[in-house]
Every structure is written in structure tokens, then in C-alpha cells.
Amino acid sequence: MSAGIQNAIYRIRKIALAAAVLGTAAALVGFFSAREDFYRTYLISFLFWWGISLGSLALIMIHHVAAGRWGFAVRRICEAAIRTLPVMIVLFLPIYLSRYNIYGWLGHSEGPHHEVVDAKRLYLNDGFFTVRAIGYFVIWLLMGRFLVGRSYRQDENGDPSINRGLARLSAPGLIVYMLTVTFASVDWAMSLEPEWFSSMYGILFVAGQALSVLAFSIILLTRLRREEPLAGILKPVYFHDLGNLMFAFTVFWAYITFSQYIIIWAGNLPEEIPWFMNRSGRGLVGVAVFLTVFHFAVPFLIMLSRLSKQRAHIIRVMAIWMFAVRFVDLYWIISPAFNPKSLHLHWLDFVMPFAVGGIWMTVFCTLLAKRPILPQHDPRFPLRQQEK
Amino acid sequence: MSETVREKKLYGLTAEFDSPEALIVAAEKIRDAGYRDIDAFTPFPVHGLTEAMGVKRSWLGWLVLLGGVLGGSGGLYLQYWINVIEFPVNIGGRPFFSWPAFVPVIFECTVLGAALFAVFGMFGLNGLPRPHHPIFDAEGFERASDDRFFIAIEAGDPCFDFEETRRFMNGLQAMAVTEVYSDDV
């Protein structure tokens, strides 16, 4: 790894470390002063950063299956993000240990729990919840270990058959990813409102994760674009490719979000509409309109233009923007489960993403700086192609 | 300027290459020499060729955008006219103008409008359909759909001078430089 890249990554890590230390201190204050808000904001922040680790898993598997120029510089970023998964287990512990306070169906205090929830006891019970959580992480860790390990091994021995092995795991791996993320999002987010259900819910998280990780990669690559050896390959056409993917997932997010809405709106059934009722109280309608306009309409129109994707400084702004509105979307999905029908904001809402993100980024930067920033011997990307 | 030989109009000069790399090098030289009315013929899309030829950006994209906007607003108006003006039906007590239900149709009409404008706009901008083109008479041109790469400088180019352009093209290390004449005078 060149010194320029390494220094740039260490500079980011320094900021991340500061955010982690200050953020954690503030979060601890929040834990003792505003327990409810701590749980709520922690869950949102965890789901956001977990989504980047998991989204990386998906993106890198898509790349192994479909190949393509766009994956060349993204690969090491995704691999470092996948390797943060052990940290995500540690970061999941606060949620697990507080599960009786976070998930109403686990607590006993909720008096009139309908028979609807009781009918779901086969799935919604403490033991199975625990087993599932362990299962998800084991599956993700094993998949990540295989994907990252093989890729690193190719750096050393240049064995071209490794690509085949990676593709062979990635195809079924993508199915496993879809299923585990769907179930995990049901367990950790949808079950906050245990009477409600939506078959769109899992894919909503999948689309969000893909969008987050693409935005994250673009932010990082545009930042590092002047450093060798990245400067050699990060031509406008490279950002055009990544920008197209981010654009596609922006549309996909809107498609999924709206599909869930129109199905429930058209059905107009009493067991389905409370979710939207809880999210349409004072202020929350504003958030929904904000998401429609700034998570979809405006980015859609801007990224429609080819120039906006080819110019690194414009696509960087778009990526930072998409990254930020992902939080707003998760806030809108999660927060009203705790505080229905009203826009509830606490200072922890603004601190917690940086606390969790600081920890995540510190680990991520450490892992990223350890390996060459580009795959060394992947036959599909001969190094001479970089010079072009 | 353009001479009439064999009582046919000169279409232009073509140079033939056996690799996309050689074609791109030649295209860059032709572009830098100031020629604008040039065209390349390859068996498959060659990345970087349009840049090497200095082709200006097509305004097809704007046409497609227009098609999408027309399609989408047409779809909205169609539904509005049916559901609110012409044949209002009370469905589950919803307002006649129930926009969420209109969105899928608006989306589909946007795609349809954009796609139609893209296809037919491309036809129009390329002057298609066109059953014949003088380049078809170029010697060995059938290999442009197999393993050869052609680039042509048209006689209508302001910089075109038969002798000088011919000399210039001979210096491009092409496998062959041929004159192409068009039948319709």
C-alpha cells in the first residue's frame, strides 16, 4: 500500500476515533439520563452501520458473480467493511441485553397483547430470537471469511481459479444474504410492532443497505481519488459506473417503499394500516414528504444526468447526501415504533450515529489500511489495465 | 474539391485496420487533423472510440427525457380524465383523485414514452430506415461485421481534399485505403 493512501486513511481514522470516544461518552450520559431514547437511537444507528457491513457482503458477491469494471476499486473497501462484522457482534450486545426493554412482545408488562401476537409465539419467543441472532452472525461471519480469505489469498499466489470458487459461493450466497437480512430485519426492526406485518419489509432493508454501501464507497473513493494507485483507475467513467449503481438503487428504494405503501393503502385493512398511521402524525408526514422529495425525486433528477455521475465532485456531494438521508429513512421506519404519531427528536438522535459510526469507522480504517487498496492478481483486472 | 470520377459522386475515403487499438490511434489522428465528418465501422462496440473520433454528444438523451415527461403527464391526465371528469366511481369511499393508485400507471407510461422516443428518436437522428449506404460498396467492407475495423472521412468534410486526405490516410498505417463512390448522383 502506498504511503499516500495509508496516510489519507489514517487521517480519516483519527477523526473516527475522536467521534467514537466523544460519542461513546455522550451515549453513556444518554444511557443514564434518557434510557428510552438511548434504546431507540442506538437501534437506528446499529441498523445503519450494520447495513454497511452487510451491504458490502452483498455488493462484493454481486461483483464476484457478475464481474465488471466498477468492482475493482470497491472490492477492498467492501472486504474491510465485511471484516468489521465481529465488531458488529459486540455492538449488537447492548441491543440483545436490553431486548426486554426494546421489544414489547418479549416484555411482560404490555397488558392487552392481542391474540395476534400470541399466535406468533412460535416465532416470537426469547429462545428462538437468541438462536436466530447467533445463526445470522455465524452465517455472515463464515461467508465473509470465505470471501475475504480467498480474495486475499489471490493477492499472494495469483491463482486464477480462485475467481471461480468465489463466484460459486456468491451465487447461492446472495440468496442466503437476502433471506438472512429479511429475517434479521423482521427480528430486530419489524417486531417492534409485533401485530403488524409486511412482506416488503426485508427487501426495504436490502435496498437501503445496497444504497448505503454504494454511497459510502463513492464518498471514500472520491476522497482518495488523487492518491496512487487509485488515481490510475478512478477516471470519470469509473464514477459513472458507481453513480449508475447508486442511481439504480435510489430508484429501487423508491419502488420498494412505494410498493409497500400502495399495497397497504389499497387494502386499507385495520391490521395493516396502523404502521402508516403511526408514521403520519404531526411532523412525521413532513419526514415522509422529505423522504419522497430528497431521498428520491431530487437525487433522481440530478443523477439522471450523465455529467453529474462523471464529475467526481458532484457525485461525491450526491453520495454524501444519500448517505445522510439513509439515516432519515431509518429514523422514519424505526422511531415511530417507540414514539408513534409524533416527531420525536432527542439530542441522542444526532450523537448516536457518530458514536456507533466512529467505532465502526475506526475499525474499518485499520483493516483497510492493512491491505493493498487494489486486488493484486485478479486475472479479470490485469494491472496493466489500470494504467490506461 | 470533390472530383467526379467514373461519373459517380465521391462519398469519401476509408481506411481499414485489423484491431480496435489501431483504429482508435487512427481516429485520434484524424480528429486532431481537424476532420469532423468521419464515421467508423466496427464488428462490436469499441470503448473509447467516440471520444477518439471527437463525436459531439447526441441530444437523444433530451429527446428521451421529453418522451418520459410526455408519457408520464399523459398517463396522469388519462387517469384524471377518466376517474374525475368522465366516469367518477366511488371506490371504497376514496377521493376520485386518488393519486397513489395513479402512480403505477404514470410510471409505466413514463417508461413507455421514454422507450418509444429513444427507439424512434435514434432512428430519426440516424436517418433510418435507409436501405442502402455508399459504404457498402467499399472493397471488403463485409468484414466490418467480422474482423476488420474501418474509418471513413466523408468528402463533404470542409477539410477534405482528395489528394491531401488520401496522402494523410496513407500515413495512418492502415491495411488499405480505398475510395468509395456513391451511386445516387
Output the domain CATH number for residue B43. 3.30.70
Q: Is residue B50 part of a domain?
A: yes
Q: Which residue of A has its CA nearest to B91?
A: A266
* Residue B172 grid cell: 495512418
Q: Is A160 exposed, middle or buried (0-12, 13-18, 19+ CB in 10 A)?
A: exposed
Residues of chain A neighbouring B61 (CB-CB closer than 8 A): 306
Measured CA to CA, the distance from residue A163 to residue A161 in angstroms comes to 5
Residues B94, B37, single domain; the answer is no
Cβ–Cβ gap A266/B104 under 8 Å: no
Last residue of a domain, one of B104, B126, B148: B126
What is the largest distance, in Å, between two alpha-carbon atoms of chain B? 80
Collapsing DSSP to helix, strand or coil, B119 comes out as helix
Listed by number, the residues of chain A in 304-333 with a beta carbon closer than 8 Å to a beta carbon of chain B are 304, 306
* Residue B143 grid cell: 468484414
In the predicted structure, residue A270 carries a pLDDT above the cut 90: no
Q: Which of B61, B65, B100 comes nearest A265 by C-beta?
A: B100
DSSP 8-state symbol, B181? E
Residues B70, B159, single domain; the answer is no
- When pLDDT is averaged across residues A155-183 and rounded to a whole number, the result is 90
* Sign (positive or negative) of CA dihedral A318, A323, A328, A334: positive
Q: Which residue do the cell numbers 408526514 mark?
A: A285
DSSP 8-state symbol, A226? T
Last residue of a domain, one of B126, B149, B173: B126
Q: Is residue B3 part of a domain?
A: no
* Residue A146 grid cell: 470465505
Which of A251, A258, A302 to substitute to test the interface with B, most B CBs within 10 Å?
A: A258
Residues B39, B82, single domain; the answer is no
Residues of chain A neighbouring B103 (CB-CB closer than 8 A): 258, 262
Residues B45, B72, single domain; the answer is no
* Residue A176 grid cell: 442466503
Listed by number, the residues of chain A in 287-306 with a beta carbon closer than 8 Å to a beta carbon of chain B are 304, 306
Share of chain B above pLDDT 90, in %: 29
Residues B43, B81, single domain; the answer is no
In the predicted structure, residue A383 carries a pLDDT above the cut 70: no
Where is pLDDT greater, at A180 or B158?
Answer: A180
Q: Is residue B16 part of a domain?
A: yes
In the predicted structure, residue A4 carries a pLDDT above the cut 90: no
* Residue A207 grid cell: 435496498
Summary mean pLDDT of chain B: 83
Q: Which residues contact A96 (CB under 8 A, 6 or more apart)?
A: A130, A133
Residues B97, B65, single domain; the answer is yes
Compute the C-alpha angle B115/B121/B126, nearest 5°: 135
Each residue's pLDDT tens digit, A94-115: 999 999 888 988 876 555 557 7
The one-letter code for the residue type at B109 is C
Measured CA to CA, the distance from residue A110 to residue A108 in angstroms comes to 6
Which of A241, A260, A265, A309 to substitute to test the interface with B, most B CBs within 10 Å?
A: A265
Cβ–Cβ gap A262/B61 under 8 Å: no
A139, A92, A88, A215 alpha-carbon torsion, rounded to 10°: 100
Q: Which of A261, A304, A306 comes nearest B100 by C-beta?
A: A261
The tally of domains found in chain B comes to 2
Q: Is residue B147 part of a domain?
A: yes
Q: Which of B61, B92, B104 comes nearest A268 by C-beta?
A: B92
pLDDT-based confidence at A388, cuts 50/70/90? very low
- Quote the pLDDT of residue A113: 59
Measured CA to CA, the distance from residue A320 to residue A211 in angstroms comes to 11
Q: Is residue B19 part of a domain?
A: yes
Residues B69, B116, single domain; the answer is yes
pLDDT-based confidence at A1, cuts 50/70/90? low
- When pLDDT is averaged across residues B93-101 and rounded to a whole number, the result is 89
Can you give the residue range of the structural domain that contains B106? 60-126
Q: Is residue B167 part of a domain?
A: yes
Measured CA to CA, the distance from residue A55 to residue A181 in angstroms comes to 10
Q: Is residue B2 part of a domain?
A: no
Residues B35, B66, single domain; the answer is no
Q: Is residue B1 part of a domain?
A: no
Residues B69, B120, single domain; the answer is yes
Measured CA to CA, the distance from residue A29 to residue B22 in angstroms comes to 67
